[in-house]
Amino acid sequence: MRVAVLKGGFSSEREVSLVSGKACAHSLKNEGFDVIEIDVSVNLWEQLSNADPDIVFNALHGDWGEDGRVQGVLDLFGAPYTHSGVMASALAMDKHRSKVLFRDMGINVPYGLLVPREIVSLEHPLTPPYVIKPNGQGSSKDIFIVERDEEPIKDLKNKDEMGDLVLIEEFCPGRELTVTVMDGRAIGVTEVVPRSSWYDFNSKYKKDGSKHILPALIDSEVSDLCLTWAVLAHNVLGCRGITRSDFKFKDDKQSNSSKADNLVMLELNTQPGMTPTSLAPEQAEKIGISFDKLCRWIVEDASWPR
């Protein structure tokens, strides 16, 4: 069976995708598949036609690769492919709209709004502290935390890559938690302890950038809620295959608030990283699924249309 592994592309997360794609291709070869690696260009249809795969493994990250556009090409191409389809991918990549759906399902999310980037560079849209992030990117690219008593970030007006509208969210302090959903089941809760002040790009992808505690040393009530919300979010967006949901938990023992009130969901990722430091493969390994077997399962889960 020939598997085409899509990697690279031309988003800001290209380098991460190249690492993910290379690792997945290596594992699939170990599992006996005939693998062809495709560094995706604007001529993807031609690349796919030349490769003539039985299955397409999507290892792209970032805009175009996980926002529904490549999925649309794959739907037209007609070969079974991995991960989520067009609608789920587009919704999950749109952080603001996905959180509207999560909130309607009873999942706590940070208060946020979409604001023109130029306005944010001139005045505070929320009382600091708050977070500025692109509405459709991942890997903690171009994220800014505006602290108390800090002036608006004037250079934001030059950050065209963030888009005309940026997402402004209240800053949620607390512990970083993440949950992988595989085959419709949440498989574990990891606490991520970044070496820097927050879980930025370097913390995610640099060696020793963060410490992973699996299972997370948290109250069972909080752990169960993370698992429940991750599956609920996966289902409400119509996701397929494997996803990863990220949370913040304010472990404030002095607060009168319930544990549920102190937990918020930050986002759902339909294309979890598959690098040596990635969280989803680590959680799969914890329940006895090696990286090679995880890649095999993802291929065997492929279908068309998604």
| Dist CA 44 CA 48 (whole Å) | 6
Crossing angle for the helix pair 14-30 and 291-300, to the nearest 10 degrees: 90
Pick the catalytic residue from 37, 66, 67, 246. Answer: 246
Pick the catalytic residue from 139, 203, 223, 262. Answer: 139
Q: Give whole-number Cα distances, 205 to 16, 22, 50, 122, 288, in Å.
A: 8, 15, 32, 32, 24
For the sheet containing 144-146, what is the strand order?
Answer: 112-116, 165-170, 130-134, 144-146
Pick the catalytic residue from 117, 175, 240, 244. Answer: 244
Known active-site residue 244: yes
Pick the catalytic residue from 205, 240, 245, 296. Answer: 205
Known active-site residue 155: no
Known active-site residue 273: yes
Pick the catalytic residue from 13, 67, 94, 169. Answer: 13
CA angle 97, 150, 108 (to 5 degrees): 30
Give the DSSP letter of residue 276. T
Pick the catalytic residue from 65, 210, 273, 278. Answer: 273
Pick the catalytic residue from 267, 278, 296, 306. Answer: 267
Known active-site residue 205: yes
| Dist CA 249 CA 126 (whole Å) | 21
Residue 1: count other Cβ atoms within 10 Å of its Cβ: 12
Pick the catalytic residue from 269, 278, 296, 306. Answer: 269
Cis peptide before 152 (omega within 30 of 0): no
Catalytically active residues are 13, 139, 205, 244, 246, 267, 269, 273
